[in-house]
Structure 1
Amino acid sequence: MNEIFFLVEDAIEGGYNARAMGESIFTQGDTLDELKTNIRDAVHCHFDEDKLPKMIRLHFVKEEVITV
């Protein structure tokens, strides 16, 4: 596997949630820097050294509600 994709969303209680696509990896962080560190740690824990993806791609999802 060359890369792994994470969907990143704002958490309701503050901070960020990240969920890997196609893998059962979920993590969160109060800041973007903390989230990135937690994602790297989670990926290293999930995969064996010889199966580690070479790249982690983050896809930020923003939701906005407007009135009609």
Structure 2
Amino acid sequence: MHADELGGIAPGRRRRAGTEAPPDVRALETAAATTPWLSATLHAVVSTASLRAAAAGINVHHSTLQDRLAHA
């Protein structure tokens, strides 16, 4: 994937004050607001080397993590 394909979630991109968030950012914000574990789960997955490590990092069983990812 190329950085220009990431839209509003590209690293280093900042939203200007008074502008609306891109659709992908709004979707993540809405999902996180209605699913309390979503942000921590996604952060664990992208910041560890494996799903088992991610599960251990947020103190859930690896199958629970897989269920959460399927839900997300």
The TM tier, using the shorter chain, reads under 0.3
Structure 1 or 2: larger strand share? Answer: 1
TM-score by length of 2: 0.25
Looking at both structures, which has the greater relative contact order when contacts are Cα pairs under 8 Å and sequence separation is at least 6?
1
TM-score by length of 1: 0.26
Structure 1 or 2: larger helix share? Answer: 2
